[in-house]
Each structure stands twice: as structure tokens, then as C-alpha cells.
């Protein structure tokens, strides 16, 4: 003969298991939404943007380093440009390298489907994490990508693939954004992992 107490206990146990399954599904849903948000945020960080105010550093330091800048012009760009092209890049610690003129119409720099290499001297920086281009002129220009490396910085490539607007600094700053995004991801990831372990144990 079945004991009513045991039957009730089994029903309660079954009900609790069903609750835990629902909580676990909610956890999976929340994690999926969070992951999609982080992914979207990471993608948005990799898009070039306008920079309305940009302080150029003209300070010359005793210590100087050489940087290699390789710029590939998109095949969708104009056949050649007479526009003035400037570049500024640097690290997260305030070290900035600035070149006021990269263009040279006499050598057909920045022709469509071409790759141009420049040697630029400037303050010794750590890992390069931002770059901005400045274009002034009527022709227009579409860079495909900009690759930069130096003695203290491993090669990093910034992908443009869009026409640069005129008379404004245009580019990327991944210095603080990438760091804060990674920290936020790590903190939330830890919380979700702990929740998953606890729910898994309860199930």
C-alpha cells in the first residue's frame, strides 16, 4: 500500500524539478540575449566614426621611434585622388604620432586598388589602438584598410571600406572601449557561469 506522505513528497519533488527546469531555460535565454548584445557591441566598435574634436600632439620627445604604415586603397575608390591626406595614431597612454601629409599626386599615391607604404617617425608608443585619417579636397577617397606596426607595437589592421568624409578626422579608437567591453563581459560571464553551475547542481 502506497503511503500518502511519500506520494505527496514525490509530487512536491517533481514540482520543484519542473521549476528548476524553467529557471534553467530562463538562464539560457538571458545568456543568449547577453551574448548577442556583446557581439553587436563588439561589431559596432569596429566601425569607423567621425571625431569632431581631436587634439593633435605636436610635442617632440627626445626618444623617437619609426613606424610602418601600410594603406590599401579600395578598388571602389576614385582612380586617383589629389586630396590632402593626414594621419594620426597612438596608444592608450597619450603617445601620439602625427603625419600632416601622406599624399603625393606626383607619385600617384592612393590610386584605386593600390597599396602604399610609409615610414613615419614619432614618439615611442606601446600597442597602437587608435587611428584617424583626415581628408581635405574635392576628389574623395576610399581606403580599404590601414595597417600599422612599430618596434613596441605588433601589427594592427583597421578596416575602413568606406569613403572618408571631408574636413573631419575619421577612424577608430579601440583603446578604452575594447578594454571596458572585455571587463564587462568577464564580470557578467562569471556571474552567469556561477548561476549555471548552481542551477545544474539543483537539477
Residue 203 pLDDT > 70: no
Q: What region, left, alpha or beta, does residue 129 occupy, with left being phi > 0 and alpha being psi -120 to 50 degrees?
A: alpha
Residue 90: band (very low, low, confident or very high) from pLDDT cuts 50, 70, 90:
very high
**Closest C-alpha to 117, from 68, 51, 66, 172:** 68
108 has pLDDT over 70 = yes
Q: What is the pLDDT of residue 42?
A: 39
> What domains lie within the chain, and their CATH numbers?
49-173 (2.60.60.20)
Q: What angle do CA 150, 155, 160 make, to 5 degrees?
A: 115
Q: What is the pLDDT of residues 132-146, one digit of tens each?
A: 999 999 999 999 999
Quick check: 198 pLDDT over 80? no
For range 51-60, the mean pLDDT: 63
Q: Which residue has the cell 587608435?
A: 130
Q: What whole-number distance in Å separates Cα of residue 59 and Cα of residue 72?
A: 29
Between 17 and 157, where is the model more confident? 157
pTM summary value: 0.66
Which tens digit of pLDDT belongs to each residue from 76-85?
Answer: 999 999 999 9
Residues recorded for the chain: 203
Contacts of 73 (CB under 8 A, 6+ apart): 110, 111, 112, 113, 114, 115, 116, 141, 142, 143, 144
Across residues 48-63, what is the average pLDDT? 65
Q: What band does 192 get if pLDDT is binned at 50, 70 and 90?
A: low
Sign of CA dihedral 31, 33, 39, 44: negative
Residue 41 pLDDT grade (very low, low, confident, very high; cuts 50, 70, 90): very low
Amino acid at each position: 500500500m502506497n503511503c500518502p506522505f511519500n506520494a505527496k513528497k514525490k509530487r512536491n519533488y517533481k514540482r520543484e524539478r519542473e521549476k528548476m527546469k524553467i529557471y534553467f531555460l530562463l538562464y539560457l535565454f538571458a545568456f543568449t540575449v547577453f551574448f548577442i548584445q556583446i557581439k553587436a557591441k563588439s561589431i559596432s566598435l569596429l566601425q569607423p566614426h567621425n571625431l569632431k574634436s581631436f587634439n593633435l600632439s605636436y610635442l617632440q620627445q627626445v626618444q623617437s621611434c619609426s613606424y610602418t604604415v601600410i594603406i590599401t586603397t579600395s578598388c571602389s575608390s576614385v582612380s586617383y585622388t589629389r586630396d590632402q591626406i593626414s594621419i594620426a595614431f597612438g596608444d592608450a597612454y597619450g603617445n601620439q604620432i602625427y603625419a600632416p601629409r601622406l599624399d603625393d599626386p606626383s607619385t600617384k599615391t592612393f590610386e584605386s586598388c593600390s597599396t602604399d607604404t610609409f615610414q613615419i617617425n614619432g614618439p615611442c608608443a606601446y600597442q597602437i589602438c587608435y587611428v584617424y585619417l583626415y581628408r581635405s579636397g574635392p576628389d574623395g577617397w576610399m581606403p580599404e584598410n590601414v595597417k600599422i606596426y612599430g618596434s613596441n607595437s605588433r601589427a594592427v589592421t583597421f578596416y575602413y571600406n568606406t569613403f572618408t568624409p571631408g574636413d573631419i578626422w575619421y577612424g577608430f579608437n579601440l583603446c578604452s572601449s575594447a578594454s571596458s567591453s572585455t571587463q564587462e563581459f568577464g564580470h557578467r560571464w562569471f556571474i552567469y557561469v556561477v548561476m549555471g553551475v548552481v542551477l545544474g547542481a539543483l537539477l
